[in-house]
Amino acid sequence: MTETIAPARGRRGSYAKSEATRQAILDAALEVFSQSGYRAGSLRDIAQRVDMSEAGLLHHFRNKSALLEAVLELRDEQARALVPIESGDGVELLRGLVGLAEYNASIPGVVELFTTLSAEATAPDHPAHAYFLRRYEYTRRNIERAFRDLRDRGLLRHGMTPRRGAVIMVALMDGLQVQWLLHRDILDMAEELRAVFSTFVDIDWNAAGTDAVPESVPA
């Protein structure tokens, strides 16, 4: 489902070196976009952080929106390290989503980037529109599968359907981020998620213990 963006190899660089450079650019771009936003974040600023010229950077990513897309895919990979989204195990998935919310609370710049971009990208002509269409479909499909697992294990309450559970879960996570960004001091995203999950899933959170939340995630 995910389109890959092949790295454009520097003419003289080896493949390994090109990969390392590409990774360094992505890390810098995530930093810059998270701090300044996508529109205001400049390629020049990103290039400077990795000691390159803007032209050199464009050997690796053909333009700003290709770079943005690669940054978003990178973040998704990092998130997948926290949330076993494709496992189909409903309990593990819900615990993972709570863990992700806890982790997200430590990276407000990235949350701000995703929140703003996903709103802007609802416009069909936005460079990240196709990415977000795919991302929402992928996320809902996998959460729906996990909810079918919960239903089959008799853990789903009140006739909540797997499809609806998926739509609602994604909506909640998105919506909580907006409120949290505005009022960080009074809102704990993970706590709110855990509470609302409990209203329609019969799950024992305490049994999860702290092992549901990985100690560290890939930087």
Neighbours of 99 (CB within 10 A): 21
Q: For the window 97-136, what string marks contact with a copy of itself as x by the rule CB under 8 A? A: ---------------x--xx-xxx-xx--------xx--x
Q: Which stretch of DSSP H or E encloses residue 30?
A: helix 15-36
CB-count burial class (<10 Å; 0-12, 13-18, 19+) for 125: exposed
* Residue 175 interacting with a copy of itself (CB under 8 A): yes
Q: For 161, how many CA atoms within 13 A lie in the half-sphere containing its CB?
A: 4
Q: How far is the CB of 211 from a copy of itself (least distance, A)?
A: 26
* Residue 181 interacting with a copy of itself (CB under 8 A): yes
| Nearer to a copy of itself among residue 19 and residue 76 (C-beta) | 76
* Residue 31 interacting with a copy of itself (CB under 8 A): no
* The dihedral formed by the CA atoms of 113, 116, 121 and 126, expressed in degrees to the nearest 10: -70
> Which residues are at the interface with a copy of itself (CB under 8 A)?
37, 112, 115-116, 118-120, 122-123, 132-133, 136-137, 157-158, 160, 164, 167-168, 170-176, 178-179, 181-183, 187, 192, 195-196, 198-200
